[in-house]
């Protein structure tokens, strides 16, 4: 090669080194802008840590009075019941949306409509949906179920649609070639290919829904969150602690169940 080859600089994945530095500069700028805008002073932070100590002291020991624990148990049953129903209703609605959002099976207009539904459901946080549902339907678990079902649609349809897009279309054709109707082709050609993933996804979403249903109560949409919010408003921090412990326990058990079932299915 040429004699003058003394220099080498690392190639960049950006268009040029200048672009790279520009991107770094912008990133730093955003961080600086964020820090300046939030105006977090160390003093306020340290002060807060002091209150944190007091908070923890007032949480310990967690509330164990029998009547409180009974209310806690009922609220937890309600929470799990909400998650069960929301999972089922969410999935039922998801199925047509998922087929609509599968590029290989769906006509264009249906495809875009389904994708729009999925985007909106995924972009809006569950708690926002819950608070709107509470205003429309009143306080209580119904609002929570509606909110969680709505969130389920975006998640479930998106992943199920991806699985449907991954299926082997040749076997669907083979079923059609035997003279089967479209519905029969669905049942024999498409469904068997997605069922294992479907069950796995359903259980996974159920696990997420258990988590969600523990918090929608904070805006009044039923479940243990209602209890948590009430205890919080009344400064009963020892009861808050008890509720949090139960929430963590239930969330962990749900995660475990979901992991075990998914491993068995696959």
Partner 1 sequence: MLQTENLGKVYPTGDKALKDVSVEISGQEVVAMIGPSGAGKSTFVRCINRLTEPTSGKVLLDDRELTTLGTDELRNARRDIGMVFQEYNLVERLTVMENVLSGRLGYVSNWAAFRRKFPPEDVQRAYDLLDLVGLDGMENKRVDELSGGQRQRVGIARAVVQEPKIILADEPTSSLDPETSSDVMRLLTDIAVDRNIPVLINIHEVHLAEEYSDRILGLHDGKLVFDGPTADLTGDAKDVIYKGEEIPDTTSVQTGTEVDPTTDGSSDPIAVRE
Partner 2 sequence: MASATQTWTRHEGRDRAMRIGFVVVAALTVIGSWIWLAETSNMSLQYVSTAPVQLADLFGRMYPPDWAYLPNVVGPLAETIRIAVIGTIAAVAMAAPVAYITAENTTPNKATYLLGKLIVTVSRSVHVIIWALLFVIMFGPGALAGTVATAVRSVGFLGKLLGEEIEEIDFGQVEGIRATGASPAKLLLYGIVPQIKPALVGISVYRWDINVRAATILGFVGAGGIGVQLFEAIDSFAWRTVSAILIAILGVVLISEGISAYARQKVR
Report the interface residues with partner 1, using CB under 8 A: 1, 5-11
140-144 CB contacts, 8 Å cutoff, 24+ apart: 140/220, 140/221, 140/222, 141/78, 141/81, 141/82, 141/221, 141/222, 141/223, 142/222, 143/216, 143/220, 143/221, 143/222, 144/82, 144/86, 144/213, 144/216, 144/217, 144/221, 144/222, 144/223
Cα distance between residue 62 and residue 68, in whole Å: 11
Residue 182 makes CB contacts below 8 A (sequence gap 6+) with none
Residue closer to partner 1, measured from CB, 17 or 234: 17
Residue closer to partner 2, measured from CB, 105 or 198: 198
Binding site for partner 2 (CB under 8 A): 13-14, 30-31, 33-35, 37-38, 40, 44-45, 47-49, 51-52, 55, 74, 77-78, 80-82, 84-85, 88, 119-120, 123-125, 127-128, 131-133, 135-138, 140-142, 146, 211, 214-215, 218-219, 222, 228, 232, 237, 244, 247-248, 251-252, 255, 261
Residue closer to partner 2, measured from CB, 8 or 45: 45
Residue closer to partner 1, measured from CB, 1 or 39: 1
Shortest reach from residue 12's CB to partner 1, in Å: 10
Angle at Cα 206 formed by Cα 202 and Cα 208, nearest 5°? 120
Residue closer to partner 2, measured from CB, 105 or 197: 197
Instruction: Tell me which of partner 1, partner 2, none is bound by residue 44, counting a contact when its beta carbon lies within the kind-specific cut-off of 5 to 8 angstroms.
Output: partner 2
Shortest reach from residue 199's CB to partner 2, in Å: 9
Among residues 168, 160, 175, the alpha carbon closest in space to that of 100 is found at 160
């Amino acid at each position: 090669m040429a004699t003058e080859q003394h220099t080498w600089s690392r190639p960049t994945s950006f268009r040029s080194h200048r672009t790279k530095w520009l991107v770094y500069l912008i990133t730093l700028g955003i961080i600086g802008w964020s820090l300046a805008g939030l105006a977090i002073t160390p003093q306020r932070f340290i002060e807060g840590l002091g209150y944190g100590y007091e908070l923890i002291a007032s949480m310990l020991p967690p509330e164990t009075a029998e009547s409180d624990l009974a209310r806690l148990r009922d609220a937890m049953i309600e929470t799990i019941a909400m998650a069960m129903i929301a999972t089922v209703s969410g999935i039922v609605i998801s199925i047509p949306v998922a087929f609509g959002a599968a590029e290989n099976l769906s006509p264009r207009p249906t495809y875009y409509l389904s994708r729009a539904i999925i985007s909106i459901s995924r972009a809006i946080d569950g708690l926002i949906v819950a608070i709107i549902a509470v205003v429309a339907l009143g306080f209580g678990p119904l609002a929570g179920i509606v909110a969680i079902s709505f969130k389920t649609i975006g998640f479930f349809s998106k992943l199920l649609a991806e699985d449907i897009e991954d299926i082997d279309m040749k076997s669907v054709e083979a079923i059609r070639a035997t003279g089967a109707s479209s519905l029969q082709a669905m049942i024999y050609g498409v469904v068997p290919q997605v069922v294992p993933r479907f069950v796995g996804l359903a259980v996974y979403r159920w696990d997420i829904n258990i988590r969600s249903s523990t918090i929608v109560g904070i805006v009044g949409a039923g479940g243990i969150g209602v209890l948590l919010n009430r205890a919080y408003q009344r400064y009963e921090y020892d009861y808050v602690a008890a509720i949090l412990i139960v929430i963590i326990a239930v969330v962990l058990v749900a995660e475990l169940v979901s992991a075990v079932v998914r491993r068995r299915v696959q």
